[in-house]
Amino acid sequence: IDGGSTGWADWVDDASRAELIQTLRKVTFNPRSQLWKWCKEVPEVSTIELVITKGIHMRILVIPTGMVMTRHYPPGCFLLSSALHGTCAVRSFITSKRGGQNTTRETAHHKYDEKSKPWIYYGGPQRAIKSTSSDGVYIGMEIVLYPPGRLSPNYDQHSEGYLKINLMDNTTQALDEIFMEKTEEEIEASGTYEDQQSINMGDIRTRVGGLDSALTNITRRIFATRRFPPATIEKLGLQHVRGMLLYGPPGCGKTLLAREIARALNAREPKIVSGPEILNKWVGEAEKSIRGLFAEAEREQRDKGRNSALHVVVLDEMDAVCKVRGTISDGGVRDSVVNQLLAKLDGVDQLNNLLVIGLTNRRELIDPALLRPGRLEVQMYVGLPDLESRQQILDVHMSNILSHGHASPELVHYLTTNDLAAKTEGFSGAEIAGLVRSAMSFAIVRAKSADDMIMRQEDIERALEEISEHLASDAWRKHRRRSRWRQKVRQWIDRR
């Protein structure tokens, strides 16, 4: 999904989306067709209209290398695109206009090629598609589903100015000539061997701000092997990473990042459980709870083998239940939980369709056996955001407000600087999100109608004072000093 989108299309159900994506993945251009030859030689940006009917618009986009095509659909539209030939870069922009002032901000930037999974985006932002193909042209397919009640075939606000070829009068014959179905081998070789195993890092980066360094490491350590078919990885004698630990002070995005990792991998709905929830005074119940978290993954791997979908288990507050064995007098309950978890992560019947993500504020309390290679081997510190990261987090939380025109021109200009990010030094991601909610609450109280809900710069300043009062408490200052000290120690260790 292109995270630059602002108008979600909830009216398209998940099953229909999955079926549409799976169908489009099988479509490729017929290199023997006359239209293919024409597309390869066209000197200007062009669209080939294939289907325009109530609620559906299907077209081919042809963009010579170095040229740009602009698309803009209002919120509510659901769009699916696929690269049939070549490569492209897609940039999303949002323009706010109030009081005669225009401010345009880039909200997303993605690159696609023929091996990319078909990507979804929604109406709202303006998008610029630039051909970066090395052989002269990018050819893509675009399918638009219009929201109920808005079935105009001219919904694209930038549809003029391009060469148009109309094949709608002979659609069936045209489709048979132009397209052919990929073989199973071609689909597997594309790098997205199953829809549920595909990876979309752009989606994470636009939903989770301020964690670029962590995402770079996650891409290499967690996602890299999952981009290729299982047979390819098995030939290399490799296995997927089955466990990782995210640690750091509260409110810095560990739980959000864990959810987005599962979303990016298109895994089953992640099972998220807090450590204290596992503990039970009855003998054997805690171990039973651990086994229950892995039961579905075990059953699916037994039934489907390498074609099993990925299952993600998130253990929040892991230090509460996985402390160093022998240090707690609780009748051995926690020790048994650690042993059961070790057996599931690195036992005789290893699950290759599993990713366990542990979350904790205190890594030093966790039993060292869980942190060894083959278990929670990837350990990533998620600390307080720096200036650039705070700006990214602000961009994420302000994006919908800006794109729907609920910010004053003065505030829009103010947000293009780093002034607000500088004033939030020491804020966690959760506190920055709270800052935006607090500021918007002032605008909501002041508004007489939905159109009057305009956030102003003074709302931000008042919210900043409100949040800062909480951060000024003695207990919170001590906690924050400890967090900053740990973060500096961690950075020093990483540099060495």
What would the mean pLDDT of 434-449 be, rounded to a whole number?
A: 92
Burial 69-106 (b: 16+ CB within 10 A, else e): bbbbbebbbbbbbbbbbbbbebbbbbebebeeeebebe
Look at residue 22 in the predicted model and tell me its pLDDT: 81
pLDDT at 16: 77
pLDDT in tens, 129-151: 999 998 889 999 999 888 776 54
More confident: 87 or 101: 87
Domain ranges across the chain: 14-189, 195-381, 387-474
Q: Which of 26-40, 128-142, 259-273, 462-476 has maximum average pLDDT?
A: 128-142
User: CA angle, corner 5, sides to 399 and 449, nearest 5?
Assistant: 55
* CATH number corresponding to 14-189: 2.60.120.10
The answer, yes or no, to whether residue 416 has pLDDT greater than 60, is yes
Residue 162 exposed, middle or buried by CB count within 10 Å (0-12, 13-18, 19+)? middle
Residue 53, both tokens = 């009917």
Q: What is the pLDDT of residue 236?
A: 80
327 pLDDT above the threshold of 60: yes
Give the C-alpha separation, 133 to 138, whole Å.
6
At 193 the pLDDT is: 38
Task: Average the pLDDT over each of 113-122, 175-184, 292-301, 311-320 and give the range with the smallest value.
Answer: 175-184
Q: Confirm if 154 and 73 have CB atoms less than 8 A apart.
A: no
**Res. 195: pLDDT tops 50:** no
In one letter, which amino acid is 72?
H
Coil, strand, or helix at residue 217? helix
Q: Decide the pairing of beta strands 126-131 and 68-72.
A: antiparallel
Q: In Å, how far from its chain's centre is CA 164?
A: 34
Q: Residue 332 pLDDT > 80, yes or no?
A: no
Q: How far is CA 14 from the centre of its chain?
A: 16
Q: What is the pLDDT of residues 219-235, one digit of tens each?
A: 778 877 777 777 777 78
Each residue of 442-474: b (16+ CB within 10 Å) or e? bbeeeeeeeeebbbbbebbeebbeebeeeeeee
pLDDT averaged over the chain?
78
50: confidence class by pLDDT, cuts 50, 70, 90: confident
From 208, 324, 334, 225, select the one nearest 276 (Cα to Cα). 334
pLDDT at 90 over 60: yes
Instruction: Please determine, for residue 212, whether its predicted confidence score (pLDDT) is greater than 80.
Output: no
- How far apart CA 131 and CA 110 sit, in angstroms, is 12
Is residue 34 predicted with pLDDT exceeding 60? Answer: yes
Instruction: Tally Cβ neighbours within 10 Å of residue 425.
Output: 11
Token pair belonging to 478: 């001590």
Is residue 262 scored above 60 in pLDDT?
A: yes
182-207: b (≥16 Cβ within 10 Å) or e: eeeeebbebbbbbbebbbbebbbbbb
Question: Which pLDDT value is given to residue 434?
Answer: 92
Residue 196 has pLDDT above 50, yes or no: no
Q: How far is CA 126 from the centre of its chain?
A: 20
Q: What is the pLDDT of residue 185?
A: 52
Q: Is residue 62 a contact partner of residue 207, using CB atoms and an 8 Å limit? A: no
Question: 10-14, 16-20, 139-143, 360-364: which has the minimum mean pLDDT?
Answer: 10-14
> What whole-number distance in Å separates Cα of residue 126 and Cα of residue 108?
11
Give the residue-averaged pLDDT of 8-21: 72
The confidence band for 246, taking pLDDT boundaries of 50, 70 and 90, is very high
Q: Are strands 311-316 and 271-274 parallel, antiparallel or unpaired?
A: parallel
Rounded to the nearest 5°, which phi and psi values hold at 87?
Answer: -130, 155
Q: What is the pLDDT of residues 66-80, one digit of tens each?
A: 899 988 887 778 889
Q: Confidence band (pLDDT; 50, 70, 90) for 400?
A: confident
To the question of pTM greater than 0.75 for the whole model, the response is no
β-strand partners of 194: none
Give the pLDDT score at 174. Answer: 54
Ramachandran class of 99: left when φ > 0, alpha when ψ lies in -120 to 50, beta otherwise = left
**pLDDT of residue 480 exceeding 60:** no
What kind of fold does domain 387-474 have according to CATH? Helicase, Ruva Protein; domain 3 (1.10.8)
In this predicted structure, what is the pLDDT of residue 486?
Answer: 57
pLDDT, position 198:
44
3-class DSSP assignment, residue 284: coil
Can you name the CATH fold of 195-381? Rossmann fold (3.40.50)
Confidence band, pLDDT 50/70/90 cuts, at residue 4: very low
pLDDT at 245: 93
pLDDT at 130: 92
What pLDDT, on a 0 to 100 scale, did the predictor assign at position 157?
A: 47
pLDDT, average across residues 24-53 = 80
What is the reported pLDDT for 463?
Answer: 93
* DSSP secondary structure code for residue 271 in this structure: E
> Once rounded to an integer, what is the mean pLDDT over residues 468-476?
63
Cβ–Cβ < 8 Å for 240, 353:
no
Long-range contacts of 217-221 (CB under 8 A, 24+ apart): 217/378, 217/380, 218/244, 218/261, 218/378, 218/380, 221/378
Would you say residue 460 has pLDDT above 90?
A: yes
Mean pLDDT score, 24-29: 79
Q: 398-422 burial, b if ≥16 CB within 10 A, otherwise e?
A: bbebbbbbbbbbebbebbeeeebbe
- 90-104, 240-254, 302-316: range with lowest mean pLDDT: 90-104
Provide the terminal-to-terminal Cα distance of the chain, rounded to the nearest Å: 38
